[in-house]
A and B are shown apart, each in its own frame.
Chain A
Amino acid sequence: MQHHLVLNLVAKILIPFIILFALYVQFHGDYGPGGGFQAGVIFGAGFILYGIIFGKDLAVRVVPLPLVYCMTAVGVLLYTLVGVAGMLLGGEFLNYSVLLPDSIAGQHLGILLIELGVGITVASVMISLFFSYAQYTHRDEQQSDNQDR
């Protein structure tokens, strides 16, 4: 779809706003609707839109696949580590109140971090799902191109 001028332009204008909106949803989830899950999906959708419009090869150059695969685990690890940190600091697993001297500030920090973990995992899983599909279509196109020649 690299040759569609309108799609190209609209995507270039929209993608920064989609990413920005995802970050807003991510870090504003404490105050309004939203949170890590929705933010991750929107973030992933922004990248997938880029992948659809500009092709999988360019998208892979922005986020290398091994990095995406690692990030799926990083999110879960971040979530779990926050839980373990609560245990080490004398509370229960996933008790954020003990993370900071002030219990409410600790809750804020804990929620921020675990939402970030959720967001990272969801976004990278969505991106890797798309790439898993996309590389096959890409290969098939190449094969059919070769057959045409």
Chain B
Amino acid sequence: MIVNIILLAFLLTTAVYISRITILFGAVMIYGIYSLLCATMFVVLDAVDVAFTEAAVGTGISTILMLSALSLTGSRIEITHKRKPIMALCASLGLGAALLWGTSDMPHFADASAPANLHVAPYYLEESSEQIGIPNVVTSVLASYRGYDTLGEVVVIFTAGIGVISLLGRTTRRRED
């Protein structure tokens, strides 16, 4: 409980800090910290696979790619807060309040009678060791029961990679200047 509160406080602090900071380089680094805090949060929620992904992608690769992008565009550019966007503040506060209100209808964490835990999850948990025979049920769901979805994800990553390569990459040799 205390861990949750501390983590959430840190998350809130970093989120506010990211929105206030004017140096892009700093924002990228703080975003990495935010991501790492999220990963810790997932560990607390016993979702180690998700935490692993968040730590590797959010903290590792994203930060590197954002820094690469910054070195392309110039990290010395600073954001300037000129206007006071009162309307935007009201809108986001309203949306946040609505979302908070919405969570009151959601089932409690790890509630066994929650709809998400009643549909196919019991079947996977009970049959996984019989049908797939590997200890990590997350892997058996991802790779075997939900193989189509994972194939779709890989194709999405592939497509994204092809897109960036065709926009930015140069497959031909550099012309002699």
- Chain A binder among B11-19, B63-71, B109-117: B63-71
Residues of A within 8 A of B44 (CB): none
Contact of A130 with B65 in the complex, beta carbons under 8 Å: yes
Q: Are B56 and A129 in contact (CB under 8 A)?
A: no
Contact A48 B136 (CB under 8 A): no
How far, in whole Å, are A25 and B147 apart by their CA atoms in the complex?
A: 19
Q: What's the dominant secondary structure at chain B's contact region?
A: helix
A137 to B75, CA, bound (A): 12
* B136 and A29 form a contact (CB under 8 A): yes
Q: Could you tell me if B147 and A38 are in contact, using CB atoms closer than 8 angstroms? A: no
B78 at the interface (CB under 8 A from A): no
* A83 contacts B64, C-beta separation under 8 Å: no
Contact present for B144 and A110 (CB under 8 Å): yes
The verdict on B121 contacting chain A, using a C-beta distance below 8 Å, is no
Residue contact B72 to A128, C-beta cutoff 8 Å? no
Q: How large is the interface on B (under 10, 10 to 19, 20 to 34, 35 or more residues)?
A: 35 or more
B-facing residues in A22-48 (Cβ within 8 Å): 25, 29-35, 37-38, 41-42, 44-45, 48
**In the complex the two chains form, is A107's CB within 8 Å of B150's CB?**
no
Taking CB atoms, residues of chain B closer than 8 Å to A37 are 53, 153
Cα(A107)–Cα(B142), bound, Å: 12
**Are B69 and A133 closer than 8 Å at their CB atoms?**
yes
Q: Are B139 and A38 in contact, CB atoms less than 8 angstroms apart?
A: no
Taken residue by residue from 17 to 60, chain B's Cβ proximity to chain A (1 for < 8 Å, 0 otherwise) reads as 00000000000000000000000000000001101110011001
A53 close to B (CB within 8 Å):
no
In the complex, B131 has a CB within 8 A of chain A: yes
User: How far is A81 from B135 in the complex, measured between Cα atoms in Å?
Assistant: 25
- Complex CA–CA separation, A33 to B53 (angstroms): 10
Complex Cα spacing A75 to B154, Å = 8
Are A79 and B132 within 8 A (Cβ)?
Answer: no
Q: How far is the CA of A125 from the CA of B153 in the complex (A)?
A: 13
B154 near A29 with CB under 8 A, answer no
B160 sits at the interface (CB 8 A):
yes
Q: A108 an interface residue at 8 Å Cβ cutoff?
A: yes
Contacts of B139 in A (CB 8 A): 29-30, 35, 111, 115
- CB of A98 within 8 Å of the partner chain: no
A125 touches B160 (CB 8 A): yes
Q: B162 touching A72 by the CB < 8 A rule?
A: yes
Partner of A45 from the list B61, B162, B164 (CB cut-off 8 Å) is B61
Question: Which residues of B lie under 8 Å from residue A129 when comparing CB positions?
Answer: 65, 161, 164
Q: Please name 20 pairs of A and B residues whose Cβ atoms are closer than 8 Å in the assembled complex, sorted by A.
A: A25-B52, A30-B136, A30-B139, A31-B136, A32-B136, A34-B52, A35-B138, A35-B139, A38-B49, A38-B53, A38-B56, A42-B60, A72-B165, A93-B148, A97-B131, A114-B151, A118-B150, A128-B165, A133-B72, A136-B168
Given A96-B144, A129-B65, 5 more contacts at CB 8 Å? Answer: A34-B52, A38-B53, A108-B133, A118-B153, A128-B161
